[in-house]
A and B are shown apart, each in its own frame.
Chain A
Amino acid sequence: MQYHTYWKVWKTIATNALQETFINRGSNILFLISKSIRLLFMLLFLWILRSTVKTIGDYTSDQMVVFFLVYQFVDTFAQILYRGVYLFSHLVRTGDFDSMLIKPISPLFRALTGKPDINDAVFLIPSTALSIWILTQLSLTITLQSSLLFLVLLSNSLLLATALHILVLVVGILTTEVDGVIWLYRDLSRMAQFPVSVYIQPLRSILYFVVPVGIMMTIPAETLLGVSSPAVIMFSCLFGIVFFLGSLKLWHWSLKKYQSASS
Chain B
Amino acid sequence: MLNLIKYVVLLKMCWQDGLVYRMSVFMWRVRRFLAALMSLTIWVTIYQSSSSGAAHFGYAQADMISYIFLISILQNLVMATAIQGLAQDVYTGAISNQLLKPISLTAYLAMQELADKLKNISAMVFEFIALFLLFKPELLVPSSSTLVIFVLWALGAVILNFCISLLFGSLGFWSPETWGPRFLFYTLMQFAAGQLFPLDVLPQLFQKVMYATPLPYLSFVQTQLFLEKLSPDEVVRHSYTLLFWIGILGLAARTIWKKGLRDYDAAGR
Show the binding face of A for B, using Cβ within 8 Å: 24, 26-31, 33-35, 37-38, 41, 44-45, 48-49, 52-57, 175, 177, 179-181, 183-184, 187-188, 190-191, 194, 198-200, 203
Chain B residue at minimal CB-CB distance from A40: B191
Cβ contacts under 8 Å, B24 to chain A: 177, 179-180
Cβ contacts under 8 Å, A27 to chain B: 177-181
Complex Cα–Cα for A188 and B21 (A): 21
Complex Cα–Cα for A44 and B197 (A): 11
Q: 8 A-B Cβ contacts within 8 A?
A: A31-B180, A31-B183, A34-B187, A48-B57, A177-B24, A180-B23, A194-B41, A199-B41
**A56-B49, A175-B23, A180-B27 in contact; A30/B41 too (CB < 8 A)?**
no
Q: Does B19 count as interface, using CB distance less than 8 angstroms?
A: no
A193 to chain B, nearest CB (A): 8
A198, B180: Cβ atoms closer than 8 Å: no
The size bracket of the interface on B is 35 or more
Q: Does B34 count as interface, using CB distance less than 8 angstroms?
A: yes
**A45-B197, A180-B27, A198-B45 in contact; A33/B184 too (CB < 8 A)?**
yes
A200, B134: Cβ atoms closer than 8 Å: yes
Complex Cα–Cα for A49 and B23 (A): 38
Chain A residue at minimal CB-CB distance from B27: A180
B196, A183: Cβ atoms closer than 8 Å: no
Complex Cα–Cα for A49 and B197 (A): 10
Complex Cα–Cα for A45 and B194 (A): 11
Complex Cα–Cα for A9 and B22 (A): 38
Complex Cα–Cα for A159 and B50 (A): 37
Cβ contacts under 8 Å, A52 to chain B: 56-57
With A37-B191, A54-B49 known, 20 other A-B pairs at CB within 8 A are: A26-B177, A27-B179, A31-B183, A34-B186, A34-B187, A37-B188, A38-B191, A41-B191, A45-B197, A45-B201, A45-B202, A48-B201, A56-B42, A180-B26, A183-B31, A187-B34, A190-B38, A194-B38, A194-B42, A200-B41
Complex Cα–Cα for A187 and B180 (A): 21
Cβ contacts under 8 Å, B180 to chain A: 24, 26-31
When each residue 149-164 of chain B gets 1 if its CB lies under 8 Å from chain A and 0 otherwise, what string results? 0000000000000000
Complex Cα–Cα for A179 and B57 (A): 37
Complex Cα–Cα for A192 and B206 (A): 26
Q: Does B174 count as interface, using CB distance less than 8 angstroms?
A: no
A160 to chain B, nearest CB (A): 19
Show the binding face of B for A, using Cβ within 8 Å: 21, 23-24, 26-28, 30-31, 34-35, 37-38, 41-42, 45-46, 49-50, 56-57, 134, 177-181, 183-184, 186-188, 190-191, 196-197, 201-203, 206
Complex Cα–Cα for A28 and B184 (A): 11
Cβ contacts under 8 Å, B45 to chain A: 56-57, 198
A22 to chain B, nearest CB (A): 13
Cβ contacts under 8 Å, A194 to chain B: 38, 41-42
B49, A177: Cβ atoms closer than 8 Å: no
B202, A48: Cβ atoms closer than 8 Å: yes
Chain B residue at minimal CB-CB distance from A23: B177
Cβ contacts under 8 Å, B134 to chain A: 200
A120 to chain B, nearest CB (A): 13
Cβ contacts under 8 Å, A30 to chain B: 180-181, 183-184
Complex Cα–Cα for A35 and B56 (A): 28
**A30-B180, A175-B23 in contact; A49/B46 too (CB < 8 A)?**
yes
Complex Cα–Cα for A160 and B180 (A): 30
Q: Among A53, A57, A187, point to the contact of B31 (Cβ < 8 A).
A: A187
Chain B residue at minimal CB-CB distance from A199: B41
A183, B50: Cβ atoms closer than 8 Å: no
B181 to chain A, nearest CB (A): 6
A132 to chain B, nearest CB (A): 24
Complex Cα–Cα for A35 and B183 (A): 9
B49, A55: Cβ atoms closer than 8 Å: yes
Cβ contacts under 8 Å, B23 to chain A: 175, 177, 180
Q: Among A38, A48, A187, point to the contact of B35 (Cβ < 8 A).
A: A187
Cβ contacts under 8 Å, B197 to chain A: 45
B49, A53: Cβ atoms closer than 8 Å: yes
B187, A198: Cβ atoms closer than 8 Å: no
Chain B residue at minimal CB-CB distance from A36: B187
Complex Cα–Cα for A136 and B72 (A): 36
B38, A191: Cβ atoms closer than 8 Å: yes
B190 to chain A, nearest CB (A): 8
Chain B residue at minimal CB-CB distance from A198: B45
Cβ contacts under 8 Å, B187 to chain A: 34-35, 37-38
Chain B residue at minimal CB-CB distance from A45: B197
